[in-house]
Structure formats: structure tokens, C-alpha cells
Structure 1
Amino acid sequence: MIAGIRGLLPGPTDYAGLRRSWRGDLLAGVSVGVVALPLALGFGVTSGAGAEAGLITAIVAGLVAAVFGGSGIQVSGPTGAMVVVLAPILAKEGAGALALVTVMAGVIVIAAGALRLGRLVGLIPWPVIEGFTLGIALIILLQQVPAAVGSTEGAHGAKAWAAAFAAVTHADWSAAWRTLALVASVVVIMAVWPRVSRVVPGTIVAIVVATGAVVVLGWEVPVIGELPAGLPAPALPETSLGALEALAMPALAIAALAAIESLLSARVAHARAVVSGYDADRELVGQGLASIASGLVGGMPATGAIARTAVNVRSGARTRLAAVTHALVLLGVVVVASAAVARVPLAALAGVLMVTAVTMVRPAVVRSVMRASRQDAVLFVVTALVTVSVDLIYAIAIGVAGAALFALRAVARAAGVHREELPGDAAHGDERIALLRLDGALFFGAADRVLERVARVHGVEVVILRMSQVRMLDTTGAQVLGEVVASLERRGVTVLVKGVQPRHLPLLEHTGALDALADTDHLVDDLDAAVAKARAVVSAG
């Protein structure tokens, strides 16, 4: 018990190899911090919590998750997926609910880690993950439309497509060309800059150019606004029984997303990195602590961020020092340059997030999913559509449920009944013996169909059921097997059951499936013995 708890906490091994990698870790952390700055600001604005909340989350949650999480290379903070879930919650419950729902979600994620639920993320199929990613990318893209046209109409509505439509229909087009020009300039710079230099991120160059243009030209466009020159003091959120009840389901949705996104991000990152694997359960504990810490200082729920983590890996990070450095770089920005950041146009952030949304979707992956199989294509499209039109958590649930149904269908189709020739030389009366081999799974999805074919056997006096190839047997399959045996015996057909696997025998006994056999010795282990017994029954008849 104590060893299990210790495994969820930081230890000296977290920084193994730091003496060799500290320079590379510091450089990687600086690179990620520069990339994370506009994303943190943009996701904070888009969620409705404000740029300050996004920046606080990247600093505080990023630092806590780096120290306590189960991955040495994961970078955490505000993400587009979390914005998708959080924005409608804040639109409905108000900004005052941010701290409480963030802390509640953090507690739930910690509980999931303590209960060792981290490996469950592996149950989410690949087409569902990719559909989920496409849906999030579309929502992030639509969420930027209000800022792109200089409108605040419906900017934080429950549905991104509705907010985008409202913003476009209520936009002042005589002024919107300015914000659209800023968005276009940001997109162009981010697309072209990598050909010029890969040392300085294109996002920072685009933000600086757009901000400078607004200052020089004197354009009146919405900007981030005043930011604090430091971190707020921790404070417990206001709590009441009514607030806890109202936020219970939203907190559960946020916690589910935080767990899923963080573990998916860690899994993808470690598949591409040269460092050792991650502890899924400890990662949940770390992300839960990160959200709690973030909520106490006015931040948002945190998750592992795949884009920033990918930058961290590409920059050569080897230990947690890189993610810690990323958080300290952002803290330095708050302390030193908050006045300059306050003048960044919201349209410039919208442009950055639009490019981010587009890069989230990889055309080659989409083609692969769509060509894999009809079932995979359906799961992919349905998950994406439900994500955009209904809800992200519902999308995952529906996608997983659909995948389960397709899998059960495939397993059921693999089950079958095959009539075989009796082994050895033919004997008189063999035509009145049916040797039937049951294959695959005898479970609720296939039991009726498989065993109905057994029950339709006619013109024989003995049926031998070969069950050695039955790989799975559940209660429904055992019960239906008993009914079929009883039905054949009532018709005067003697049933012999051969080769029941030892692990299936207790279930058959407990359900009474073998009680219908005419004699206890009609349950046999050897095929030759079963055939000899069947021939004896035919001869006696």
C-alpha cells in the first residue's frame, strides 16, 4: 500500500541523467515557453476566462504537473480541447464558477489516478481519437471567428458554430477589415517564417509584427488588456452545496477530458521520444494537482498539451527540467513584460489559434482512417460530427460505444458451427451421428445464432458437440447451450459434449447447462472416446 502511494509521488529518479542533459533541457524549456505564450493567452481568451487565466494556468499548472506528473517530457497547460468543454460551462454558470469547477475536476482526476485507472485510456480506438482531434480542431477554428471579425457577439456561446454565425451576421464590416488583415498577416507569417529561420518561432514573430502594426497605424481594435505583474495569492473558491451540485457534472466532464487528453498526449510523446516510458496513474495525480493549484490562483483546468509537448521532444528535452523551465519563462514574461503583452490584438491571437487548429489535422492520417475500413470511417466521421454539434465527452462515449458494437459484431461473425467427418475408418450407422465443431465465442452476441444452427440438425440419433475451440463462453452462451441440449434430448437425440475447457466447466455447472445430458458420462474429454460412445448408442438403438 505504502509502496503504491510512493510510486505516485516525485523521487530522485525523476531527474536521472540531468547532469548530462541539463543544457539541452534548459534550451528546450525556453523554446516551449516562447511557443506556449501566445497559445496560453489565446486559449484563455477563447474560453471566456480571460488571457490572465490562460497565462496563470500555463505557469502554475505547467510547473506542478512537471514536478508531480508521470511523464518526464510532458508539457501541461491550457489546451484547445479544454477550451471546448470549459467555454459553455462558463457561459452558463458564469466566470465565478471557474475556480470551484477547476478544483473539483482536479480532485476527481487525482482520485482516478489513486484508483489506478490510467490504463483505461488504451481502450479508446484510434479512429475515435482522430475524429475527436478533427472535431476539436474545427471548434477551435470556429471559436476564433468572432475575434477575426472584431465582434464579441456570441464569442463564448455554447456552440462554436452558432457563435461564429452570430459574430459574422452582427459584425461591423466597415471596421472588420482591420482585424481580418491582422489575422491574414499572422497566418502568412507563420506559414512563411520557417523558411526564413527555425530559431525564433513564427508565432512570436507574427504576434510582434501584428502588435507593432496596430501601434504604428493607430488602429482601434480589441486587445488583451491589462495583465497582472505577478501571480495572484492563492485563495479557496467560494463553495456551497448548491454550487457543488450544479457543477458536479461539468467537473466530471472536465476531469474526463483532462485525464484522456493528458494520457493520450503522454502516450504519443513517449512513442516519439528517446526517453523511457511514463506512469499513467502518476500522470493523473500530477494533472489533478496541477488543476487544483491552478484553480486556487485563478487559473483554468490543465491537461497535457500535445503541441507543446511535441516541441519539447523536438527541442531535445530529456528530463522534467525542460517543462519546469517553460513555466519559469512564462513567469518571467508576466513579471517583466505584462504591459507589452497587454497590447497584443485579439485578432492576432485568433490567427495563431487558427493555424494551430489547421496543423492539428494531418491529411495523411485522415486518409488512412477513411481507407482502413468502413467501420473505422464511420467511427471517425461520427465522432467528429458529435464533437462539433453536441459535446466532446458525448463524442468520445459514442465513439467508444460504436467501436465496441463493431468489435462484438466481428467476434460474433467469427463464431460458427462446422459439421465434420468422424475420424478413422467409417462404420455402419455413422450417417446417424453428427459431429459439430463450435468455433470462436459463445457469448450473448452470438449464442442464439450459433446454437440455433445446432438445434436445426435433423436425421441423426447422436450429436457430438466439440467445444475445444470455444475461446470465450459467457453466462448467456452457457444458458442457451443448456436449452439446446435439452431440446435435442427431448427429440430423442443423444448429445455428447466433448472437450470443454477447464476454465469453462464451472460456468456450465453453475448455470445447469449440463444437467440436460442423459448421462453424466456424456461429458467426455477425448474425441475417439466420444465417437466410440456415439457408435455404441446408435448400435444399441
Structure 2
Amino acid sequence: MTDVDAAPAAGPARRIAATLRALLPSGADYRGLRRNWRADLVAGVTVGIVALPLALGFGVSSGLTAEAGLVTAIVAGVLAAVFGGSNVQVSGPTGAMVVVLVPIVASHGAGAVAAISVLAGVVVLAAGLLRLGRAVSFIPWPVIEGFTLGIAVIIFLQQVPLLASPTVPEAGEHSSNAVIAAAQALAGADPVYLVWALGAVAIVVACMLVAPRIHPAVPGSLIGIAIVTVLAVVLPTPLAVIGALPASLPVPSFPVVDPAALGDLAVPALTVAALAAIESLLSARVAASLADTGPYDPDRELVGQGVASIGSGLFGGMPATGAIARTAVNVRSGGRSRLASIVHAVVLLGVVLFAAGPVGAIPLAALAGVLMLTAVRMVHVGTVRSILRSTRSDAVAFVLTAVVTVSFDLIVAVVIGVVFAGVFALRGLARATTVHRELPPGEPHPEDAHIAVVSLDGPLFFAAADKVFDAVTGLTGITVVVLRMSRLELVDATGARVLTEIVQTLERRGVTVLIKGVQPGHEELFRTVGVLDSLRHHKHLFDDLPAAVEHARNHVRRQFGAHTT
């Protein structure tokens, strides 16, 4: 092959190489480390303390184990920090992912979660390589908040079975729907155990509420858990505990899955992948708005989260996502580089290596208290009030997304919310499209009674096409129509096609159509779809309105003679 033949291939190869370099870690990721390493260390330790009870609680609530939650926080925390697109994102198990995993565990068993984590990670990784990171910008704010509210309700209700009985419900014992499962658990609750469990929750919640008033850095959740754990050890309580934890990380291995079952795992894996991508990108975007933490790359963030879920699955963990609450703690604690997220994972690894015994004695009710208050804090009353008082369509999208999230499925809720919001947005755009008749410019002429100057304003797309067609073709008693298009905004193929149909319909009636003011950005579309070819004569296209109107008057004079009335 000659140098000339090789030249065309070199361009795409260089672009692919440049794309891969942009999506991989580099020394630039740690550019400010020398200046901020102390603050990053402090932030990492702080986040690690905050993340410990959440990792344990989310592991248990998902139907897996506390160990699975810790493994996920450690492995995914490091991999997402190194490979992700945000300098301050903290990743690990999250409440939203737990909501998705509970029905998966009920249907496929706990052993399938590691395989689903790997499969979902591959999908998220591929999405990053395909540069799909900007897709999250299409999700409207009310849908995001409705999604968050629904998740918060589910997380809260998922803790009820842990308070009702000393035995953790087996997969399939309760409904996969959080509302029904909570009702089932309360119906069969042990009254004595329920009192003890609610007491543990009250202690943890009180510590979490009071601690920040003493000092923002005081870890109220850990203090509350410690108090409940000591009481459970000292007093003869019936409270169920986490149980023995391994004193090291498991050896990585590929999940054992029956090849025949891979087809059944495809839909759950796609659901997990969609959630991981959405939540991680939203978290990274929020983090970038909290402080000057540097830009984030959404495509690289997907790559990092994909690698993190794959790694977590290989270690027997669960799918990971960016965690908004932990990321916010990191930023507010001074974290500005990836070191803080890495230190957070190292702190959790230290817990596994040196404190597995004490952690195993933590009552499950204490973890439930942490997650219940976390769920309540996810809902901001001011935000809910603002959305409900905004537009009717946004309020309905918010409520609809929240209801579908709680009663049916998270991803379906987001899709329905986006579609609903999109329909209302299109309706609003269609209303912005106006068709109005104007008086011809200059001094009135007798011929003007037979001329209609019609101005098309705003976007002309499929949702407004019928309205424009009916308005223009409904004109009667005229000989010439001047379509004024200089104020048209967005025009799609349907809008261009309806213009063609308008011209053809009027010309068939004997009404001459003149077009004025085709914008350069619309001209190619109009030629391709046939708008300009449908005109009776190429001289019926004008750049100037007075010239078009004068041509129309001359046409009327020729048709009716010099004396028109």
C-alpha cells in the first residue's frame, strides 16, 4: 500500500487514538494535588466515615450482605476515582441502585447480582466510548426531582422489614414492591422486637440531628450506631446484628452464570446500566456546581463508572454509581482532587482489615435508622413546593414520575416523565407558532382586497404543521397569497412539507403563491422537500416584501383589469 493510500486511514486512526487518550487517566488529573493534598486527605477520611454506615446499610437493604456493600464502596470507589470524569465524584452503593436490585434479587437470586454488575458495567463503559454522556441533559429538572422523591420513599419503606422482625426476609418472602412489602412486614411484625428496633432508630436519628449542631464534622450516624451497638452488647436485646464479616477482600473472579440464563439477565442489566449512567452523570454535574472543582467529562465519567461496576462484580460486589450525598460531603470538606475519593475507599478497606469484628456487632435497626433519615433528607420541601407552583405540566411530570417510581419501576418512571415533559414542551412550542394576516405595506391600493400577506412566526415543526396548514388554506376571497417567512425559527422536514402542501393546495384553487424571506439556513431544506419547486414560477420567490406585494398587485391588475374594487 502506498503512502497516498495510507493517508486517508491515518485520519480516523488518529481520531480514535485521541478519543481513547481523552477517556483514560493522565497526570493532569492530579495537577492541583501538591497544593491541596492535606485538604484532600481530610475530606477523604470524612467521606469514609460518612460512607461506612451507608455502605453497610445499602448492602443489607439490597437483599445481599453488608460485606457486598463494603466491597462495592472500596473497589468501585477506587476505580471510579481513577478512571472517572470528575475530580471529586465519590462512587459506591446507592439507595437508587438498591431500589433496582431488590426485585432483581427476588427474581434471580443474590448470586446473579455480581454477573449483572459486570454486564451493566460493560454497557455503561460502551456508552462512554460512544460519547453518550451528554444524553442526561435531556432529562428535565421536574423529572429528576420526581425520580429522587420516589427513590427516597422506597428507601424509607425498605427499612420497615428490618424493624419488624429479627430475621431478614428471604428473597421472595415479601413483595418486590416497597409499599406492599412494608405493609406485609408490619402485618406480621413482632411487637416486642418492633419496640426495640424503633428505640434504636430513635437513638440514631437523634444523634444525626444533634451532632451537626455541635460541630459540622461530628459524624452523628457513627456516634448513634456506636451507642446502639454498645447497648445491644450490654443489654439482653433481641436486635438482629450484621454478623461476622471477612477480615479481607475476597479474591476477584468471574461470576459463575449459566449461559442459558444470560438472556434472562439482559433486561435487568440494561436497567441497572441506565440507572448507573443517569445517577452518576447527575451527581457529577451537581458536584461541578458546588465549588470550583474543575470541569467534568461526562463521557469519561461513564467509562469510569463502567469500569467500577465491572470491578465490583468481579469482587462479588454490586453495581456502583456516583453518590450525590457522599460527593457533596467530599466537596464541602475541601476535597478537590481524586485523592480524596481514593482515601475514602482506603478508610473503608481499613475497616475491613482491622475492625471487622466490631462492625459485625452493629444492629440492623441502627443501619435502618441511618437510611431512613438519609431518605428524608433527600427530599427538599422548598424544591417540591417550587415545582408544584411552577407550570401545570412540570407539576404533573414531577408527580407522575414520583408515583411511577414508587409503584412500578425507576427507569420506566424516568422514560414516562421525559416523554410527558417532552409532549408538553412540544405543545408549548406549537403554541408559539403563529400565523397572522398583515396589511400590505405602503399606501392602500384597490388590488389589496385580493391579496393576503401572511406572516409565519416561530418554529414550524410537526406539532404545529396542521395548525399552519388550516390557517393558510382557510383563507377565502383572495387571488394572491404572500407567505412571509423571514421570522420562521426552527423548521423540520414536516414543517417544510406542509409548506409544499400549502402552495400546491392554493395553486390548485387558482390562488397564486409568492414566498418572501427564505432564510439561508432553511433554503437547502426547502429545495430538498420541494417547497420552492411547487411555486408556479421561479420569479415568485422574493427577498423584499414591497417587491413581492407590488408583484401581487400587478398580478391582480392583469387578472381583473385596471379597475378593481
- What band does the TM-score fall into relative to the shorter chain? over 0.9
Out of 295, 300, 304, the residue aligned to residue 286 of structure 1 is 304
Pairing 1:50–2:65 present: yes
CA distance in 2, matches of 1:513, 1:533: 20
Report the residue type matching 1:265 in the other structure.
S
Q: Which residue of 1 aligns with 2:486?
A: 468
1:508 positional shift? 2.5
Q: Which residue of 2 aligns with 1:87?
A: 102
CA distance in 2, matches of 1:36, 1:339: 18
Out of 271, 278, 281, the residue aligned to residue 263 of structure 1 is 281
Pairing 1:177–2:195 present: yes
3-state SS of paired residue (1:503): helix
CA distance in 2, matches of 1:194, 1:318: 23
Question: C-alpha deviations, 1:411-436, integer Å up to 9, x for none?
Answer: 10000111111112222311111100
Out of 70, 85, 90, the residue aligned to residue 70 of structure 1 is 85
Q: Which residue of 2 aligns with 1:235?
A: 253
Question: C-alpha deviations, 1:292-332, integer Å up to 9, x for none?
Answer: 01000110000000110111011001111100000000000
Report the residue type matching 2:143 in the other structure.
V
- Contact kept in structure 2, 1:87 and 1:157, CA below 8 Å: no
Question: C-alpha deviations, 1:57-89, integer Å up to 9, x for none?
Answer: 000100111111111101000000000111111
CA distance in 2, matches of 1:479, 1:332: 66
Runs of at least 4 residues off by over 4 Å: 153-156
Q: Which residue of 2 aligns with 1:322?
A: 340
Report the residue type matching 2:24 in the other structure.
L
Question: C-alpha deviations, 1:334-353, integer Å up to 9, x for none?
Answer: 00000110010000000000
Q: Which residue of 1 aligns with 2:76?
A: 61
Out of 102, 117, 134, the residue aligned to residue 117 of structure 2 is 102
Q: Which residue of 2 aligns with 1:361?
A: 379
3-state SS of paired residue (1:318): coil
CA distance in 2, matches of 1:194, 1:156: 36
Tell me whether 329-338 or 472-481 shows the greater mean CA deviation. 472-481
Q: Which residue of 2 aligns with 1:491?
A: 509
1:511 positional shift? 2.5
- Contact kept in structure 1, 2:123 and 2:273, CA below 8 Å: yes
1:234 positional shift? 0.5
Q: Which residue of 2 aligns with 1:451?
A: 469
Gaps of 5+ in 1: none
Pairing 1:134–2:152 present: no
Matches within 5 A, 1:141-156: 141-150=156-165, 152-153=168-169
CA distance in 2, matches of 1:489, 1:282: 55
- Contact kept in structure 2, 1:45 and 1:54, CA below 8 Å: yes
3-state SS of paired residue (2:483): strand
Out of 527, 533, 549, the residue aligned to residue 531 of structure 1 is 549
Pairing 1:424–2:442 present: yes
Question: C-alpha deviations, 1:419-476, integer Å up to 9, x for none?
Answer: 1111122223111111000011221101111121111111111110001111122222
3-state SS of paired residue (1:419): strand
Question: C-alpha deviations, 1:476-496, integer Å up to 9, x for none?
Answer: 222222222222112221111
CA distance in 1, matches of 2:217, 2:428: 50
Q: Which residue of 1 aligns with 2:12?
A: none
Report the residue type matching 2:492 in the other structure.
D
- Contact kept in structure 1, 2:276 and 2:305, CA below 8 Å: yes
Q: Which residue of 2 aligns with 1:114?
A: 129
Gaps of 5+ in 2: 1-15, 560-565
Report the residue type matching 2:39 in the other structure.
G
CA RMSD of aligned residues (A): 1.3
1:191 positional shift? 1.3
- Contact kept in structure 1, 2:229 and 2:362, CA below 8 Å: yes
1:387 positional shift? 0.4
Report the residue type matching 1:485 in the other structure.
V
Report the residue type matching 1:491 in the other structure.
R
Q: Which residue of 2 aligns with 1:193?
A: 211
- Contact kept in structure 2, 1:88 and 1:156, CA below 8 Å: no
Report the residue type matching 1:349 in the other structure.
L
3-state SS of paired residue (2:463): coil
CA distance in 2, matches of 1:348, 1:149: 13
Report the residue type matching 2:118 in the other structure.
V
Pairing 1:509–2:524 present: no
Tell me whether 177-186 or 108-117 shows the greater mean CA deviation. 177-186
Question: C-alpha deviations, 1:335-373, integer Å up to 9, x for none?
Answer: 000011001000000000000000001111111111111
- Contact kept in structure 2, 1:419 and 1:437, CA below 8 Å: yes
Pairing 1:20–2:40 present: no
Question: C-alpha deviations, 1:165-211, integer Å up to 9, x for none?
Answer: 11000111133211111112111221122223333300000000011
CA distance in 1, matches of 2:556, 2:50: 82
1:238 positional shift? 1.6
Out of 5, 8, 16, the residue aligned to residue 23 of structure 2 is 8
Give % identity.
Answer: 60
- Contact kept in structure 2, 1:48 and 1:95, CA below 8 Å: yes
- Contact kept in structure 1, 2:163 and 2:193, CA below 8 Å: no
- Contact kept in structure 1, 2:243 and 2:361, CA below 8 Å: yes
Q: Which residue of 2 aligns with 1:383?
A: 401
Q: Which residue of 2 aligns with 1:440?
A: 458
1:156 positional shift? 6.4
CA distance in 2, matches of 1:85, 1:114: 25
CA distance in 2, matches of 1:537, 1:485: 17
Q: Which residue of 2 aligns with 1:370?
A: 388
3-state SS of paired residue (1:429): helix
- Contact kept in structure 2, 1:87 and 1:156, CA below 8 Å: no
Q: Which residue of 2 aligns with 1:307?
A: 325
CA distance in 2, matches of 1:510, 1:496: 19
- Contact kept in structure 2, 1:464 and 1:496, CA below 8 Å: yes
1:220 positional shift? 2.1
Out of 258, 264, 268, the residue aligned to residue 250 of structure 1 is 268
CA distance in 2, matches of 1:196, 1:427: 83
Per the normalisation by structure 2, the TM-score is 0.94
Report the residue type matching 2:266 in the other structure.
A
**Closer, same or farther: CA 197–474 of 1 in aligned 2, 3 Å:** closer
**Closer, same or farther: CA 335–193 of 1 in aligned 2, 3 Å:** same
- Contact kept in structure 2, 1:150 and 1:347, CA below 8 Å: no
3-state SS of paired residue (2:67): helix
Q: Which residue of 1 aligns with 2:562?
A: none
Matches within 5 A, 1:400-419: 400-419=418-437
For these two proteins, the number of residue pairs brought into alignment is: 541
3-state SS of paired residue (2:462): coil
Pairing 1:36–2:31 present: no
